[in-house]
Amino acid sequence: MRELDPLSGCRPLQYSPQHATRLIRLVLNLVKILLSNDDGYRAEGLEALRRAISPHGSVTVVAPDRNRSGASNSLTLDVPVRAARYDTDCYYVNGTPTDCVHLAISGLFDFEHDIVVSGVNDGANLGDDTLYSGTVAAAVEGRFLGLPAIAVSLCVEPGSPRNFASAARVAASLIERLAAEPLKAPVMLNVNVPDLPEGQLLGLKVTRLGNRHRSERVVRAKDPRGRNVYWVGAAGAGQDAGPGTDFHAVAHGFASVTPMQIDLTRHAALPELERWLSS
């Protein structure tokens, strides 16, 4: 069995003509970019990202037909999904972000993509947000299916100026860097950008995921018939948010870039679990 790749947490892809062709297209700036999100195909962040990355390759958009924030890695299995074109090389799907990427890579088109880019999300995906995020899930699905992937989120606050173009430019710069110097193995990057104009960003910082305090309690309300309904409470503030974390980088004016892995195994616990079960 091959060892896990330290960057992506997956087994390295075997050499193939398709992989070699993908690297050649990256170097020649002929990259085919699959763009998705979880805010829906009409989202401001999606369009800003499409404009920013279009000079760097051929962009195909496959995005949900409505807001699917918090969909995580869910696939639609109980009903068929449908794709409809709404613009040149742009499609919406009646499914989740994961559905969109899975469909796009696994049969919707008669060509292969080189990279998956997801976003720009309308809100942060810091720390344990990544477990719930549809934006991150779209990138994860791309990585599951063998492609490098980037998830990009804008860390908006109430009343903040919503600089989606600034976050989109960060994503474009990462694609430029991949074209100039491809990473040795496919990797998934989770990028969070503070809501600042491009000229005020202090740069990029490589970070690890922090984590949040427990979320706020659910919000109880009444529907028009007087029945109880509930809204999920607000996310908790940063708990593990010190230097080196994505929280800390964003709070200090930097875009955080976190390499993520798919392997959820807690490897350090394996010997202890083996001892516990055999005792």
Contacts of 63 (CB under 8 A, 6+ apart): 35, 36, 37, 40, 41, 43, 46, 90, 91, 92, 93, 97, 100
User: Position of tokens 């919707």?
Assistant: 108
Give the pLDDT of residue 6: 47
Tokens of 147: 């492609």
Q: Checking DSSP bridges between strand 228-231 and strand 219-222, what pairing results, if any? A: antiparallel
* Residue 277: alpha-carbon gap to chain centroid: 37
**Residue in 127, 185, 176 with CA at minimum distance from that of residue 153:** 127
Q: What's the pLDDT tens digit per position in 73-103?
A: 999 999 999 999 999 999 999 999 999 999 9
Give the pLDDT of residue 181: 86
Q: Is the pTM of this model over 0.75?
A: yes
Residue 187 dihedral angles phi and psi, to the nearest 5°: -145, 155
Higher pLDDT, 207 or 183: 207
Give the pLDDT of residue 29: 54
Q: How many CA atoms lie within 13 A of 137 on its CB side?
A: 24
Which of the residue ranges 24-28, 48-52, 93-97, 101-105 would you say has the lowest mean pLDDT?
Answer: 24-28
Give the pLDDT of residue 20: 55
Domain ranges, ordered by start, for the chain: 17-211+239-278
Examine the pLDDT at 8 and tell me if it is beyond 70: no
Q: What's the pLDDT tens digit per position in 168-193?
A: 999 999 999 988 888 877 789 999 99
Q: Using CA atoms, how far apart are residues 279 and 199, in angstroms rounded to an integer?
A: 60
Examine the pLDDT at 2 and tell me if it is beyond 70: no
Please report the DSSP string for 232-244 in residue order: PPPPPPEEE-STT
Residue 194's H or E segment, with its range, is strand 188-194
Q: What's the pLDDT tens digit per position in 96-107?
A: 999 999 999 999
CATH superfamily membership of 17-211+239-278: Survival protein SurE-like phosphatase/nucleotidase (3.40.1210.10)
Give the pLDDT of residue 276: 96
Q: What's the pLDDT tens digit per position in 215-231?
A: 788 899 999 999 999 98
What is the band of 24 on the pLDDT scale with cuts at 50, 70, 90? low
Give the pLDDT of residue 7: 44
